[in-house]
């Protein structure tokens, strides 16, 4: 009888150990996903930091990418990033990052009130823009990062 109980206790102990190991494994996968998501968001922020506020050719006349700006390397001002999704993510040098199928970076650029950056105003009507990048993995949002830039 006692031997049976001892075996049962050992059996439960083993199950509990396997269970917590799996939980730890899932948790570490999740935190790796979050870290990757944040890294991809920061790549876009770094890219944006290098962009001028206004297009070198058309200035402030167009919101969004100017005609003919199709490739990531064509983008040359902040608002060009508005509404763009890099499906197959890119890094700050606009090189697509290999081996990251399923990941994407979506960018929005909005004009905001300089005295209240939470207040969105019509595109191109203020000197301050709010950029936001949403990183997804297979359609699931992993990370969202937003920041403010002068225009
Ligand atoms: Ca442009
Ligand atoms: Ca533009």
Q: Which ligand is nearest to the CA of 83?
A: 2
- Kindly report the pTM of this predicted structure: 0.83
Give the N- to C-terminal CA distance of the chain in Å, as an integer.
79
Q: In this structure, which ligand is nearest to the CA of 68?
A: 1
Q: Phi and psi for 106 in degrees, rounded to 5?
A: -110, 135
Q: How many other CB atoms are found less than 10 A from the CB of residue 136?
A: 20
CA angle 144, 147, 151 (to 5 degrees): 140
Residue 81 CA to ligand 1 centre (angstroms)? 9
> Per-10-residue mean pLDDT for the chain, 151 residues long?
72 75 85 96 96 91 92 94 96 95 97 96 95 97 95 83
Q: Using CA atoms, how far apart are residues 7 and 9, in angstroms rounded to an integer?
A: 5
- The strand pair at 116-121 and 103-113 is best described as antiparallel
Question: How does pLDDT run across 18-62, given as a tens digit for each residue?
Answer: 777 888 888 888 899 999 999 999 999 999 999 998 999 999 889
């Amino acid at each position: 009888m006692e031997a049976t109980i001892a075996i049962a206790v050992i059996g439960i102990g083993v199950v509990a150990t396997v269970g917590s190991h799996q939980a730890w494994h899932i948790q570490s996968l999740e935190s790796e996903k979050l870290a990757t998501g944040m890294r991809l968001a920061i790549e876009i922020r770094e890219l944006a930091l290098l962009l001028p506020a206004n297009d070198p050719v058309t200035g402030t006349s167009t919101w969004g990418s100017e005609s003919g700006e199709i490739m990531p390397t064509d983008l040359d001002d902040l608002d060009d990033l508005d509404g763009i999704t890099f499906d197959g993510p890119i890094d700050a040098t606009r090189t697509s990052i290999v081996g990251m199928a399923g990941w994407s970076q979506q960018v929005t650029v909005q004009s905001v009130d300089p005295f209240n950056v939470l207040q969105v105003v019509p595109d191109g009507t203020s000197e301050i823009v709010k950029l936001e990048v949403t990183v997804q993995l297979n359609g699931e949002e992993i990370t969202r990062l937003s920041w403010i830039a002068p225009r």
